[in-house]
Structure 1
Amino acid sequence: MKKHFWLKAAMVAATLTASSAAMAADYTIKLGWVTPDSEVDPYAIGANAFKRLVEERSDGRIEVETYPNRQLGDERQLLEGLRFGTVDAAVVVNAVVSQFEPAFQINDLPFLYGTAEEAYAVLDGRPGEILAEKLRDRGVVVLGYMEGGYRSMVNNVNPVAKPEDVSSVKYRVMQNPVYIDMFSMLGGNAIPMEWGETFMAVQQGTIDGLEMPVALVDAAKFYEVADYLSLTNHTYSVANLLMSERSLSGLPEDLQQIVLEAADEAVTEQRVRQQEVEAETVERLEEKGMEVNQVPDVAPFREAVAPIYEKYRDDIGAELMDEVFAIIESR
């Protein structure tokens, strides 16, 4: 009797193993990003939409494994991995991408996009194609330009309503010259720092604050360590959905097309949801104890940082800048 029991158990186990093997995906895409896997995090919203759509449209032939919270490394490491094919896909903020391809600095220019619709017109138009072509030359495919949301200032010193309020405040900025110059021109102390070190630095008072999209203030729980959120909306944050060219070309052509189409749909879905989340988040952060203020007039800020545009014109490319300005002015 005992022998028959173990024989049946072995047969069941073998059947389950065979069934699992039959159901296993033919291909796996490992997708990383540095922020939390949260329902309100803009990176996570897009990454999870991409995962769902790719798996559905490929009928399970592709599995997208997600790795939030820097599990595959910081953004510079993710981008390096994409270039060399050791990372399949990632969501990477524009400010990091622009360190590898200077033309992407167009999106880092402060107060460039007055509305999200202006940004969409640029990114979904010829300028976005030009940027994608430049990055593909470096072995990285732009699957889409997701929305990180407008970046605002968070600190523990004072609300920001005019440029003078930035003076002498120590702000963490990404390791990007445009961001460093912007805060320097506003009189602040710009301190380049990796994302993974920032929360503790604010908590311990090593820095006074940082600048970031509103939704990420909530998702990363900066309301626990910072008092003031000022809606400066100084930079429209592009969250680039990227894939290693090596990983994409390693898929059969039909699956490559599915990935590209799923990415397009994921970007559209993410932008809509990000807009909703941003509107909801301000009220939620106030309920959690943050003091939130609008900036009554951004003109003095624009005037203070105006020299940045000319300084980076050659790095970005005069023709690209002029094309972007023309699109914005036509809207």
Structure 2
Amino acid sequence: MRTRKLARSFGRAALASLMLLCAMTASAAVTIKLGWASPDSMQDPYGIGANAFKEAVEKRSNGEIKVEFYPNRQLGDERQLAEGVRFGTVDASIVTNSVLTQMDPAFMLNDLPFMYTNADQGRQLLDGEVGQILAEKAQSKGIIVLGYFEGGFRHMANNSQPVSAPGDVKGVKYRVMQSPLFIDMFNALGGSAIPMAWGETFTAVQQGTIDGLEGTVGILSAAKLFDVTKYLSLTNHTYSVGELLMSRRFYDRLSDDHKHIVREAAMEAVKRQRELNEKNTETLLADLKGQGLQVNEVADMKPFREAVRPLHDQYREKIGADLYDKAMSSIR
């Protein structure tokens, strides 16, 4: 009798221990809600990055960390996403670099025109000391920069003429992002910069309200610009950066092991995203040519760099002279 009672006692204790273990395991599970403004598509640079991050995190954590997607502005537009990450109402997001310039002007460094001759220069800069300095500035504002995705270089498309020299931009009305730096860039080249919401751009070009627009190959392809423009010039005027962000409040609640996993997964995702986006850009560019768009490369970038040199001098102090000089010295 006593033996049966002891057995039942041990059984109940074992069951209680098992339930406690299950509860502890369940409490260790983490879900990251990741939002961005564009589609969940393997043709979209941010969609590519989101999927690479999810795959790396879930694999490295053996499923302990899950990533849920909220694309297409489900958690807000890019500014709302960045602010949500900052204040802890959004776990993580991918946003265009220009959004972060509103929080810290140092990020304007990434939007400076005609800064790089190739994408590798941008990658090395952001993966090195300069990228770390920018990340530290963001962290002081409650944002963890996990990595720097890329959209590729931005180019000019219009209905007036191909762009081979700064003079070809003169007098042409270009839609630009609502960013002082982008407005100043096109004005410095002699063009007419028209800040405009992206959703209004296609119709504005179609109706002749503006002559053209600028953006990465992925953006221009998704917008089907070949239906409304004649010329695409590969000006490479800005290296497009999209930051993978996490709320510091969310990050601080992670265990040390999970923090390490998230960091390592982000590094893996950045590498994978860049590789896939580069291949995707080549495919989309060939498709744009096949649709009848006249595409030309720019043989000499020096005149463009000279034209925007006063702009660099103007923004050097806003960015921070030490940071600007460190960046320039590392890519020359």
- Distance verdict in 2 for CA 1:182–1:257, change over 3 Å: same
- Counterpart of 1:215? 218
1:230 paired to 2:247: no
Q: Are residue 316 (structure 1) and residue 319 (structure 2) matched? A: yes
Change (3 A) 1:258 1:182: same
Alpha-carbon shift at residue 76 of structure 1 (Å): 1.3
1:184-237 per-residue CA deviation (whole Å, 9 max, x = no partner) reads 111222122333443444344443322111122223433333332110001111
Aligned residue type for 1:233:
N
Equivalent position to 1:305, from 301, 305, 308: 308
**1:6 aligns to what?**
none
Q: Could you tell me how far apart the structure 1 residues matched to 2:49 and 2:205 are?
A: 27
1:79 is paired with a residue whose SS is helix
Q: What whole-Å deviation, never above 9, does each CA across 1:250-273 have from its counterpart, x for those lacking one?
A: 222222221111100000111111
- Select between 262-271 and 252-261 the one with higher mean Cα deviation: 252-261
In 1, Cα distance between equivalents of 2:259 and 2:283: 36
Q: Which runs of 5+ in 1 are unaligned?
A: 1-21
C-alpha distance in 2 between matches for 1:258 and 1:65: 17
Q: 1:196–1:251: structure 2 CA closer, same or farther, 3 Å change rule?
A: farther
1 CA distance for matches of 2:156 and 2:41? 21
Please tell me whether residue 289 in structure 1 is matched to residue 307 in structure 2. Answer: no
**In the aligned structure 1, how far is the partner of 2:211 from the partner of 2:290?**
22
Distance 2:39 2:202 in 1: 13
Q: Which is worse superposed, 39-48 or 261-270?
A: 39-48
- Residues 195 and 63 of structure 1: is their aligned pair in 2 closer, same or farther, counting only changes over 3 Å? farther
- Which residue in 1 is equivalent to 2:37? 34
Q: Is the 8 A contact 1:122 1:324 kept in 2?
A: yes
Residues 124-167 of structure 1 deviation map (CA, whole Å, 9 limit, x = unaligned): 11111100000111111100011110110122333222222222
The question of whether the paired residues in 2 share the 8 Å contact of 1:151 and 1:213 is answered with yes
Identical columns (%): 58
Q: Which residue identity does 2:102 align to in structure 1?
A: Q
- Tell me the equivalent position of 1:100: 103
- 2:220 is aligned with what amino acid? V
Cα offset for 1:59? Answer: 2.1
Map 1:39-50 → 2, pairs under 5 A: 39-50=42-53
Distance 1:163 1:86, change over 3 A: same
1:261 matched residue in structure 2: 264
Alpha-carbon spacing, 1:288–1:38, altered in 2? closer, same or farther (3 Å): farther
The answer on whether the counterparts of 1:96 and 1:175 sit within 8 Å (CA) in structure 2 is no
**Residues 60-106 of structure 1 deviation map (CA, whole Å, 9 limit, x = unaligned):** 22221222222222211111111111121111111221221111111
Two-structure CA RMSD over aligned residues (Å): 2.0
Does the residue aligned with 1:312 lie in a helix, a strand or coil? helix
- The answer as to 2:163 corresponding to 1:191 is no
What number of residue pairs does the alignment pair up? 308
Change (3 A) 1:247 1:200: farther
The one-letter code matched in structure 1 to 2:51 is N
Are residues 1:58 and 2:61 paired? yes
| Conserved 8 A contact 1:25-1:63 | no
User: What is residue 125 of structure 1 aligned with on the other side?
Assistant: 128
| Structure-1 residue corresponding to 2:3 | none
Once residues 58 and 200 of structure 1 are traced to their aligned partners in structure 2, the CA distance between those partners, rounded to angstroms, is 46
| 8 Å contact kept, 1:28–1:62 | yes
Q: Any stretches of 5+ residues in structure 2 without a counterpart? A: 1-24
- Residue 308 of structure 1 aligns with an amino acid whose one-letter code is L
Partner of residue 179, structure 1 = 182
Return the match for 1:81 from 60, 81, 84: 84
CA distance in 1, matches of 2:95, 2:229: 25
TM-score (norm 2): 0.87
Secondary structure of 1:63 counterpart = strand
- For the Cα contact (< 8 Å) 1:214–1:281, is it kept in 2? yes
Question: Which whole-Å CA distance do the structure 2 matches of 1:24 and 1:201 have between them?
Answer: 52
Q: Tell me what 1:111 maps to.
A: 114
For 2:59, the aligned partner's letter is E
- Distance across 1 between alignment mates of 2:41 and 2:270: 17
Distance 1:314 1:187, change over 3 A: same
The structure with more radius of gyration: 2
Flag as ranges the 4+ runs of structure 1 deviating above 4 A.
22-25
Label 1:296 to 1:239 Cα distance change in 2 as closer, same or farther (>3 A).
same
